[in-house]
């Protein structure tokens, strides 16, 4: 009787512990984000430039600004919370999840970001960058810069 109880108890423990394990799916094909040179980490996406860049799907130019610190922690149009340390951006029409490369035309520094919000709603501006992304392209001092935006991938 004790042995039967021990087996049942062991089975229940293993059954519940199995529910705590993360679900991992394997595929022979790379995910679209990996094709664009994006890998994920525990905190969120990390953007890495690849040696061989695919030609952009679309390119446009304009002015870029960046989010003020007061927006940190607020909900974006996509429902995510804005995190000033993440590599994200706002665009008026690109679908959420679109990966874009934003290049400061004055110094040729670029950053790869993911669109997760709507905006900017100021005439002539084409993109709003997160604080971290703005730091990467050295625009904190000027606040608004001329940029070239390359669309690298659209969400599935």
How does pLDDT run across 1-20, given as a tens digit for each residue? Answer: 666 766 676 666 655 555 55
The DSSP result for 57-115, as a single string, is SEEEEEEEEE--GGGTTSBPTTSPBP-TTS-EEE-SSSPTT-EEEEEETTT--EEEEEE
When pLDDT is averaged across residues 90-104 and rounded to a whole number, the result is 96
How does pLDDT run across 24-78, given as a tens digit for each residue? Answer: 333 334 444 444 444 443 344 444 445 556 799 999 999 999 987 788 888 999 9
Q: What pTM was computed for the model?
A: 0.66
């Amino acid at each position: 009787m004790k042995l039967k109880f021990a087996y049942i108890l062991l089975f229940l423990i293993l059954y519940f512990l199995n529910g705590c394990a993360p679900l991992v799916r394997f595929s022979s094909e790379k995910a679209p984000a990996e094709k664009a040179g994006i890998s994920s980490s525990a905190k969120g996406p990390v953007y890495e430039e690849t040696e061989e860049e695919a030609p952009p799907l679309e390119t446009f130019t304009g002015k870029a600004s960046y989010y003020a610190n007061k927006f940190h922690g607020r909900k974006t149009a996509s429902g995510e919370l804005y995190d000033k340390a993440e590599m994200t951006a706002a665009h008026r029409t690109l679908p959420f999840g679109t990966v874009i490369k934003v290049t400061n035309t004055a110094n040729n520094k670029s950053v790869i970001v993911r669109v997760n919000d709507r905006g900017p709603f100021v005439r002539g501006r084409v993109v709003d960058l997160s604080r971290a992304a703005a730091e990467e392209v050295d625009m904190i001092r000027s606040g608004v810069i001329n940029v070239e935006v390359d669309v690298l991938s659209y969400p599935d």
